[in-house]
Structure 1
Amino acid sequence: MADRQDMGQNKGSAGAHKGTVSRATTSSVKKTQPGKGVASGSRSASGSRPVSGNRPASGSHLSSASRPKSATAQDKRRTSTGRPLEKSVKSMSSGSKTRRPANSRSSTGSGKKSAQSRNKKKRYELNAKMMAVAALVVGIVLALVITMIMRSSMLRVKQIQTDYNMGDIFDITNYIEPDSNDARLEYDNSEFAPDKLGKYTIKYKVRRGKLSKTKKAVINVVDEVNPYIDGPDEIDVSMGTDINWSDYYNVTDEDPDVQDSLKASQDVDTSKERTVTVTLTAEDWAGNKASRQITVNVLKSNFDE
């Protein structure tokens, strides 16, 4: 009987303790989280049980050291989901620590990417400008080349003769001929006045409509004409006279010094009367020669009679 009474007392004290814990838990939840339900892991006063692990063994008395802590003290270390507060804070702090480098890396990476994209865009714009300038330069060069080709084709000429014979009348059309029938040559023929043999460079203009171009040509001046000895076929000279052939004969040629080349094939003795046949010759600067046969009569002077 005594044992049954003790067991009944223990059960009564355990029930009273349950009611105390339930009331304390409810009051702590209301203070910490107003307007929300009871935290998970705790129950309401009706039929609530203490957290497992804090439940006393059946038939044993609860000591002050083994008594479960109040719900308010437990809730201070727990979140609304019933998880320990320290772990949650640690997890939040560790999560924030791990996220910050990620954010910084992402911001740094995005900054690098944006800088790279800007640099790439600038390079693209610079390349586009350079290509545009290069295309413009190439277009100008091509236009100039095409213009020069067209002008050269429309104003093309050919030289049909190079040698000019000294003493002839000079005409540019006898030496230069345009390829186009519409083109014409412009040159003052009187300007060409060579005074010796050799090559001369002349300038003339080719014109076709509004197009014109100055060109050059080389004319080779030659002398292909033999000199001419002009004078009588027979002459009379006085005895003892030295004969000067230029007093009787004149040599005509483009060579201004050809007269000095006039000479006889033999010397004529004028010391006595006689008749002599003589051949006169002359040679110009081009090697052209002339000859003429004459008769020389050596006579007594009238004063001797």
Structure 2
Amino acid sequence: MKIGFIGLGVMGRPMAGHLIDAGHDLSLHRVKDVSRPLVEKGGTEAASAKEAASGADVVILMVPDTPDVEEVLFGEGGAAEGLGQGTLVIDMSSISPVATKEFAARIEGAGGLWLDAPVSGGQAGAENAALTIMCGGSEEAFGKAKPLLELMGKRITHVGDAGAGQTAKVCNQVIVGLTIQAVAEALTLAEAAGADPAMVREALLGGFADSTILKVHGERMLNETFDPGFRINLHRKDMTLAVDSAKALDLALPNTATVQQMMNAAIGRGDGDLDHSALIRTLKGLSGR
């Protein structure tokens, strides 16, 4: 397929690379020095989102936040200006479910197809084509997208209509955020009580408290290896989406709000560009440790 790919950050670069390796023709927008190897292996640099979308069968977005998606799609020189009839837009960014429904309606109203397909699995998942992908859109859009998504991920679920994929991603980030907070609190308690936190973690692995967060992020907390990974800045954005959604729906999500505030504090102390496992630093700081 001819694919316009917009957004070549930590996640987008390997994802685009997998598509090029599979023989697809990629027009790449937002190429920087670090993503120049994608051009060298066969991608074509596009000066604008419109240029990337022109003549494309599929346009894939992987940008940071809701305003970025809106600008890339509908701003001056945006992808919407270059879309043909029946072009599929796949937004793999993590953004507002409410805004996603609006974007989908605008794309479909112009004769395109829409699929929101945010991902989980982080940089390692992107590099290893092992992402979990949560999809919202029509059966037609999902069917057209699935062969491409299978080149980037391993667990691919059609959750429902447009916006449902983004809702699933927000739910994912709530669970991840709260579990990071729980692991950080447990390891902080173990250390303060005089137990070896590494051995406490070892004792919990395989039990009912076991989780990927305890395995991966627990080890990062113990070793204080906080290179991203997934930055606190980005996770705070997702927790804010959850808090905003709760407000719109008149829901009480008290622990989600607490973790969002912890992430606010982490960013305030200068840790926003560290991996979200660095939340333990903020927690320990509250106790003067």
Same fold judged by TM-score > 0.5? no
> What TM-score do the two structures reach when normalised by structure 2?
0.21
For the pair shown, which has the larger CA radius of gyration, 1 or 2?
Answer: 1
- So what's the TM-score if we normalise by structure 1? 0.20
Structure with greater helix percent: 2
Bigger relative contact order, structure 1 or 2, given CA contacts below 8 A and separation 6+?
2
